[in-house]
Structure 1
Amino acid sequence: MMAPLASSLPKSLRSVWLAALLSSGLLGCASQGSTTLVAGDPNGQVQNPTQLLGQLPLPAGSLIRADQSLIIGAGDNWVGRVVLDVGRDFDAAFRFFLDTYPAQGWTVVSVIRGKTSFMVMTRQERTATFEMVDGGVMSSSSVSLTMAPRNAAVMVPKKP
């Protein structure tokens, strides 16, 4: 029924009609689920993460890369992955997470330091995993923060 409507429109309006149809479909899907859609600026970055990530502290000047992040829920109970642009001072960002999170009750489980560094921390029923990539002098460093339930039931696939 929609195909005849689209074909009856002038060619210049067909793309507008298609875009409107797809947008309304995506909005309908988004409102039914619990996924928080992250709107970014033209560079794909979010500048005010507080309402998305709750009380999780982030290094000063960090920006969320919306196009690479997936946040399910919001506030202090969100799960998913947030990719941050933390600027050129990789050492400051590394120290920030290592100093600030334990001061807020997070327990450091493991830390591996290198060009790509990893940290795993737990607090109550949550696990935070940080993958940090040093961008060097010429480009920004990034941090991929994955938040998940600490004792989530793991389903092991059965062999057919």
Structure 2
Amino acid sequence: MNGMHRLLWAFLVAAGLAGGLAGCASTSSTPSVGVGPDGKVQNPVQLLGQLPLPPGAAIRAEQSLIIGAGDNWVGRVVLDVGRDFDAAYRFFLETYPAQGWTVVSAVRGKNSFMVMTRQERTATFEMVDGGMLAGSVVSMTMAPRNAAVMVPKKP
């Protein structure tokens, strides 16, 4: 994990702790999210708001870290997207820009990467083509677009 990833991770953890404390003070109840016997989230709309997922995609709950819910969540979601890697890649590349996301960069290969922004949010997609036998996995990271980044000082 390089320094930038560590900083992003530290920011997400700090934001989650702050959000969790704020959530404790709230009196409104959030509907619970069910996880099936296969370890996959039953209703991802409760967590991810209006972000579309490829048809048949399932969230790997044990590998995901979702802080908050709805359209303001931050964190990482790991998805099983099935065996058709090309369809999943096209889904993100076509569907998200149609919903107002701007593609900042896209790299296509066995390990593909995309970065998109919309308003004050950044979405990063890391896609691993597992081939016809293993299935493919997408790791989607959502973070604030202009988060204050602190540069670590050398001791």
Q: Same fold (TM over 0.5)?
A: yes
How far off its partner does 1:140 sit? 1.3
Deviations 1:17-69 (A, max 9, x none): xxxxxxxxxxxxxx7575x9865222211131001000000001110000000
CA distance in 2, matches of 1:47, 1:117: 27
Cross-structure match for 1:3: none
Computed over aligned residues only, the root mean square deviation of the Cα atoms, in angstroms, reads 2.0
TM-score (norm 2): 0.78
Mapped to 2, the partners of 1:38 and 1:66 lie a distance apart of 10
Cα contact 2:33–2:43 (8 A) shared by 1: no
Counterpart of 1:138, as a letter, is L
* Residue aligned with 1:83, SS: strand
CA distance, structure 2, for counterparts of residue 153 and residue 76 of structure 1 = 21
CA contact (8 A) 1:38 1:66 kept: no
Partner of 2:116: 121
Task: Find the aligned partners of 2:38 and 2:22 in 1 and give their Cα distance.
Answer: 26
The structure showing larger relative contact order (alpha-carbon pairs under 8 Å, at least 6 residues apart) is: 2
What's the counterpart of residue 76 of structure 1? 71
Cα distance between partner residues in 2 of 1:52 and 1:33: 17
Give the gaps of 5 or more residues in structure 2. 1-19, 24-29
Q: CA deviation at 1:94?
A: 0.3
2:26 aligned residue: none
Higher Cα Rg, which structure: 1
CA distance in 2, matches of 1:133, 1:79: 21
**Distance change in 2, residues 1:80/1:97 (3 Å):** same
Matched, 1:153 2:134: no
Gaps of 5+ in 1: 1-30
Quote the offset at 1:159 in angstroms: 2.2
In structure 1, the residue corresponding to 2:97 is in which secondary structure?
helix
Matched with 1:106 is 101
Equivalence map 1:42-81=2 (5 Å)? 42-81=37-76
Identical aligned pairs, as a percentage? Answer: 80
Pairs aligned (count): 130
- List 4+ stretches of structure 1 deviating above 3 A: 31-34, 36-39
* 1:88-107 pair list within 5 angstroms: 88-107=83-102
Amino acid of the structure 2 residue aligned with 1:145: M
